[in-house]
Structure 1
Amino acid sequence: MGIFALKEDRPTPKEVYNWRVYVCAATASMAACTIGYDSAFIGTTLALPSFIDEFKFEEKSDSEVALLKQNIVSVYQAGAFFGSLAAYFTSYYLGRRKSLFLFSVIFMVGAGMMLGANGDRGLGLIIAGRVLAGLGVGGCSNMTPIYISELAPPAVRGRLVGLYEVGWQAGGLVGFWINYGVNKTLAPSHSQWLIPFAVQLIPAGLLLIGAVFIPESPRWLFSKGRNEEGLKILCWMRNLPEEHIYIVEEMNYINEDIERFHNDVGAGLWKPFRSLKDRKIQWRFMIGTLLFLFQNGSGINAINYYSPTVFKSLGITGTNTGFLTTGIFGVVKTVLTFVWIMVLIDHMGRRNLLMIGAAGGAFCMYFIGAYIKIAGTANVDTTATEGINLTPGGTAAIFFFYLWTAFYTPSWNGTPWVLNSEMFDVNTRSLGQANAAASNWFYNFIVARFTVTMFAKMGYLVYIFFASLMVVSIIFVFFCIPETKGVPLEAMDRLFEVKPVRKAHSVILEELRLHDEEFRQNIAGVDLKEEKAATEQVETKDV
């Protein structure tokens, strides 16, 4: 089997892997472009000389500037936290597609408000606009992975949900480079720092247009009793007629799952909360929360939001040089994300990627922390001459920083989103994803709010702290997270019941194989009986 060969839960017609499912997933992933762009551009925009001059940062003390920057960055995460929770309610009443449309509108209103800020009006419009923009991306971060996972064939579900991460990195790549570009090509002015804020509207506008044309999630329609509409969309998505055995089997899985949970939990906005009484469901919610704790605990968002501060601690001085180094960081992340989505996520699986990524990343962070402690680079002057003032040890630290990126990106960067989009049942999927997305933005807020203070107070210990959390995450993944690649959404409950966790995946795939054989034999038996009855009827008429 080649590296692109797919491991399927059952025989799958080639028609299923068609352009329609990829286009729908890519369209929904424009939401991630918006999120990725913001996570990358804001830190370097706040470091632009034109922004510093217009809002008179030089007249403030270092502590006041640090607090102001942290507030500008972190109110976005605070808004996203509440937006991700609000998406649970909008998805129940409006569905996945209309929710994406709604939250895209909210984001664009917030982004538009930011464009009205200037030195005379102050930063109020930027802060208020970032709260609204946060609400918008928070809701989209909940809806997008769910929407994609519900329309994806199991064998390529990781790859399709991974498009969400590709969108995130593509937006981040633009965000990392845009301030280098405007700083190199434009004289310091109001327009220079305004351009990066205006670019936010491009991916949000594309999502707004795309949400008009993509279909609703068929699984959501089935859960609302709109079976005829759901079947039509499912057949269109799979490019198969409704009488095809693949469609019949998928409908059988979906209907069994919906019926079981309507009987056990019941339909309704608040009914899924009753399932939280079940310790097994509680544990899955806890897994979702801890995945994002360890993701943010790796240090990624400290680097995303405050990359100039990070590179300063390694000996990189000057605005343009810092921006250039940050831009290269974005390129490395984007390239490795494509490797992750095309090869790793549906072949190596979720568990192996997380453990290998954490092990390699921890080693790199320990090295960087040790270098900063020994070399004493944490207090390099940011106003120093443009350049890379590195000792041989500093060069090694930069190498290990990019090596850390190579370990982190194809593991913890997108895999937690894939896991959370697929590990919940039909009745708790929206609630579970709301919990996961809210957890992500909560930890994101903590990182954004306190990173500058942490670097000022802890120095090299910040890197030791991140490395130690990554070591703990290896133990967590090994004992708590089963492999989910290739497992249908409707089999996730059974997957999380199998012990030990490391063997659950192979056990479930064997059970699915036996179930598939039995189902096909039953279908074949019915066809034979009908054929026999028809033959006997013809013979009777002849007599």
Structure 2
Amino acid sequence: MTILALKEDRPTPKAVYNWRVYACAATASFAACMIGYDSAFIGTTLALPSFEDEFNFAQYTKSHLTLIQQNIVSVYQAGAFFGSLAAYVSSYFLGRRKSLLAFAACFMVGAGMMLGASGSRGLGLIIGGRVLAGFGVGGCSNMTPIYISELAPPAVRGRLVGLYELGWQIGGLVGFWITYGVNTTMAPSRTQWLIPFAVQLIPGGMLLIGAIFIPESPRWLFLKGKRDEALKVLCWMRQLDRSDKYIVEEVSFIDEDLERYRREVGAGFWKPFLSLKERRIQWRFLLGALLFVFQNGSGINAINYYSPTVFRSIGVQGTNTSFLTTGIFGVVKTALTLVWLLVLIDHMGRRKLLMIGAMGGSLCMWFIGAYIKISDPASNQSNTKLSSGGIAAIFFFYLWTAFYTPSWNGTPWVINSEMFDQNTRSLGQANAAANNWFWNFIIARFTQQMFEAWGYGVYFFFASLMIISVFFVFFCIPETKALPLEAMDRLFRIKPTWKANRILLEELRAENEEFQQSTQGIGWDNEKETSAEQVECGTAGV
């Protein structure tokens, strides 16, 4: 096998890797464009002179102004925390697709509210709109990875869930550059700062429209007992007939998994909560939460939300220079996300990416912190040119981006979307998304105060957490690539953790060979004839 060869759990028809599954995943990933755009545009927009003049920031003391700015940024994460939990309720009763529609509509209302803010009205509409928009993106951050993972073939599941991360980076890229654009091409005015706020409506509207046309998750339909509709969607998604061996096997995996959990845990809204009494379920919930602790502990959201503050700490001066440096940061992230998506996530695997990214990123953070400690660029504001040490610090900052982006940026979302069983997947993803937004909130709320209090120590703090995460991944996180969702329970039972994926893949291949031998001589055409409820959907649309 070459490095670019897909690793499959069983022989897979080429028809399975078709445009439909990519189109559905890409449509759902407009949710990530909403999230990524906000994380990038808000910090730089608050730094626009036109925004500062509109809301008379000059009247506040430095500490009061810091508090206002942090509140504007962080209420979004607070709303997202509750939205990610609410998505568990909506997904159970409405399904994945209708939940995306509902939360996208919520986001659009919140984004629209922000456009009504002005100096005379104050910041109330911005803060209220950000809470509501945050609630919407929180729900979408829960639903999108689940929806994609439930329709994805195992061999390309990482790549498809990775489209969610790609959408995040594309949104961020636009967010980083749009503020630079309005600052360099427009005179300071109300329109100048309104444009970045208004652009939020574009990805939100595209998700709202797109979610009307994509099908419901076939696994959710099976869970709700809607077998005919589930089979129709699954066959349409795979571009295979209902009697195809691949479809028969996939349906049998889903049925077996559902039956086992109905027997052991039970189906229903509250049953997944009862399953939390089991240690094996508690362990996976803890792992999902810790992945986002270490993701946020890398420093990424401090940089996303307060990039001007971060670059000033290194010695970058001037509004335009800071915005330009931030924009280049967005370009690097987006380009590396494409490499991660197309090559690394489904070929190198989740574990290796996380460990390599953490080790390399930590070394970069140690260097940046040491440079700030020794050089103290903040005290030398008279020199507008970066020293050679400052240039080296910028280089290591972008090198850190190169290590972080194809590892911790999107991989925790991929792992959380696939490591839970059918009955606890929605609740598990709600737990993961809520943890992500909780730590996002902490970072957004206290980053500027951390820089004021700790200075270079902030970089040492992030570097230390990244080193700890290497040991956490090696001993606690099994490799999940190429495995069916229904095999995840078996994966987490196998020890040692670092060998679990290889052991389970060998077991699955052996079982598949036995299955193929047992079906030899049994005419698949007989199954066609005996299936009165057969759904002919190889060429039918949904």
Which residue matches 1:419?
Answer: 415
Q: Which amino acid aligns with 1:257?
A: D
Deviation at 1:378, TM superposition (A): 3.5
| Structure 1 residues 430 and 393: alpha-carbon distance in aligned structure 2, compared to 1, 3 A threshold | same
Q: Is the 8 A contact 1:4 1:342 kept in 2?
A: no
1:514 maps onto 2:514 in alignment: no
Q: Which amino acid aligns with 2:193?
A: W
Which residue matches 2:299?
Answer: 299
Deviation at 1:515, TM superposition (A): 1.1
- Give the alignment's TM-score, normalised by structure 2: 0.96
Aligned equivalents of 1:309, 1:409: Cα separation in 2: 20
Which residue matches 2:189?
Answer: 189
1:407 maps onto 2:411 in alignment: no
Q: Is the 8 A contact 1:317 1:380 kept in 2?
A: no
Deviation at 1:527, TM superposition (A): 3.6
Which residue, 450, 461, 474 being the options, matches 1:465? 461
What is the 5 A alignment of 1:27-38?
27-38=27-38
Q: Which amino acid aligns with 1:16?
A: V
Q: Is the 8 A contact 2:479 2:500 kept in 1?
A: yes
Aligned equivalents of 1:212, 1:530: Cα separation in 2: 38
| Structure 1 residues 189 and 517: alpha-carbon distance in aligned structure 2, compared to 1, 3 A threshold | same
What is the 5 A alignment of 1:153-302?
153-302=153-302
| Structure 1 residues 92 and 343: alpha-carbon distance in aligned structure 2, compared to 1, 3 A threshold | same
Which residue matches 2:327?
Answer: 327
The alignment partner of 1:411 has SS state of coil
- Give the alignment's TM-score, normalised by structure 1: 0.96
1:343 maps onto 2:346 in alignment: no
| Structure 1 residues 253 and 380: alpha-carbon distance in aligned structure 2, compared to 1, 3 A threshold | farther
Which residue matches 2:374?
Answer: 374
Aligned equivalents of 2:205, 2:457: Cα separation in 1: 42
For 1:135-167, what per-residue CA distance to the aligned partner results, in whole angstroms no more than 9, with x for missing partners? Answer: 000000000000000000000000000000000
The alignment partner of 2:119 has SS state of coil
Which residue matches 2:440?
Answer: 444
Q: Is the 8 A contact 2:45 2:193 kept in 1?
A: yes
Q: Is the 8 A contact 2:339 2:406 kept in 1?
A: yes
Aligned equivalents of 2:380, 2:147: Cα separation in 1: 46
Identify the range of structure 1 (259-268 vs 458-467) with the bigger mean alpha-carbon deviation.
259-268
Aligned equivalents of 1:247, 1:379: Cα separation in 2: 66
Which residue matches 2:540?
Answer: none
| Structure 1 residues 529 and 28: alpha-carbon distance in aligned structure 2, compared to 1, 3 A threshold | closer
| Structure 1 residues 529 and 209: alpha-carbon distance in aligned structure 2, compared to 1, 3 A threshold | closer
Deviation at 1:524, TM superposition (A): 1.6
Which residue matches 1:484?
Answer: 480
What is the 5 A alignment of 1:380-391?
381=381, 389-391=385-387
Deviation at 1:466, TM superposition (A): 0.2
Deviation at 1:2, TM superposition (A): 4.0
Aligned equivalents of 1:408, 1:448: Cα separation in 2: 19
Aligned equivalents of 1:379, 1:497: Cα separation in 2: 55
Q: Which amino acid aligns with 2:360?
A: G
What is the 5 A alignment of 1:2-21?
2-21=2-21
Q: Is the 8 A contact 2:41 2:178 kept in 1?
A: yes
Deviation at 1:3, TM superposition (A): 3.8
Deviation at 1:454, TM superposition (A): 0.2
Deviation at 1:518, TM superposition (A): 1.4
Which residue matches 1:22?
Answer: 22
Aligned equivalents of 1:319, 1:367: Cα separation in 2: 25
Deviation at 1:124, TM superposition (A): 0.4
Q: Which amino acid aligns with 2:137?
A: V
Deviation at 1:430, TM superposition (A): 0.1
Q: Which amino acid aligns with 2:376?
A: G
Aligned equivalents of 2:522, 2:92: Cα separation in 1: 38
Aligned equivalents of 2:521, 2:495: Cα separation in 1: 35
Superposed CA RMSD in Å reads 1.3
For 1:245-304, what per-residue CA distance to the aligned partner results, in whole angstroms no more than 9, with x for missing partners? Answer: 000000010000000001111111001111100001000000000000000000000000
1:132 maps onto 2:132 in alignment: yes
Q: Is the 8 A contact 1:104 1:204 kept in 2?
A: yes
For 1:167-208, what per-residue CA distance to the aligned partner results, in whole angstroms no more than 9, with x for missing partners? Answer: 000000000000100000100000000000000000000000
Give percent identity, aligned residues only.
Answer: 75
Q: Is the 8 A contact 1:151 1:218 kept in 2?
A: yes
Which residue matches 1:538?
Answer: none
Aligned equivalents of 1:379, 1:356: Cα separation in 2: 35
Aligned equivalents of 2:332, 2:426: Cα separation in 1: 33
Q: Is the 8 A contact 1:368 1:463 kept in 2?
A: yes
Q: Is the 8 A contact 2:243 2:524 kept in 1?
A: no
Aligned equivalents of 1:528, 1:203: Cα separation in 2: 45
What is the 5 A alignment of 1:496-511?
496-511=492-507
Deviation at 1:530, TM superposition (A): 7.7
Which residue matches 1:318?
Answer: 318
Q: If you compute each CA radius of gyration, which structure gives the higher value, 1 or 2?
A: 1
The alignment partner of 1:484 has SS state of coil
Q: Which amino acid aligns with 2:511?
A: H
For 1:228-251, what per-residue CA distance to the aligned partner results, in whole angstroms no more than 9, with x for missing partners? Answer: 100000000000000000000000
Which residue matches 2:119?
Answer: 119
Aligned equivalents of 1:119, 1:342: Cα separation in 2: 46
Q: Is the 8 A contact 1:378 1:460 kept in 2?
A: no
The alignment partner of 1:103 has SS state of helix
Where do 4+ consecutive residues of structure 1 move more than 4 Å? 528-531
Aligned equivalents of 2:419, 2:176: Cα separation in 1: 33
Which residue matches 2:536?
Answer: none
Q: Which amino acid aligns with 1:168?
A: W
Q: Which amino acid aligns with 2:88?
A: Y
The alignment partner of 1:526 has SS state of coil
The alignment partner of 1:426 has SS state of coil
Q: Which amino acid aligns with 1:424?
A: F
Q: Is the 8 A contact 1:363 1:467 kept in 2?
A: yes
Q: Is the 8 A contact 2:478 2:500 kept in 1?
A: yes
| Structure 1 residues 71 and 26: alpha-carbon distance in aligned structure 2, compared to 1, 3 A threshold | same
For 1:437-478, what per-residue CA distance to the aligned partner results, in whole angstroms no more than 9, with x for missing partners? Answer: 000000000000000000001000000000000000000000
Aligned equivalents of 2:493, 2:77: Cα separation in 1: 34
Which residue matches 1:454?
Answer: 450
The alignment partner of 1:510 has SS state of helix
The alignment partner of 1:216 has SS state of coil
Which residue matches 1:393?
Answer: 389
Which residue matches 1:540?
Answer: none
For 1:17-37, what per-residue CA distance to the aligned partner results, in whole angstroms no more than 9, with x for missing partners? Answer: 000000000000000000000
Which residue matches 1:91?
Answer: 91
Q: Which amino acid aligns with 1:229?
A: E
Q: Which amino acid aligns with 1:141?
A: S
Deviation at 1:379, TM superposition (A): 4.7
Unaligned runs of 5+ in 2: 528-542
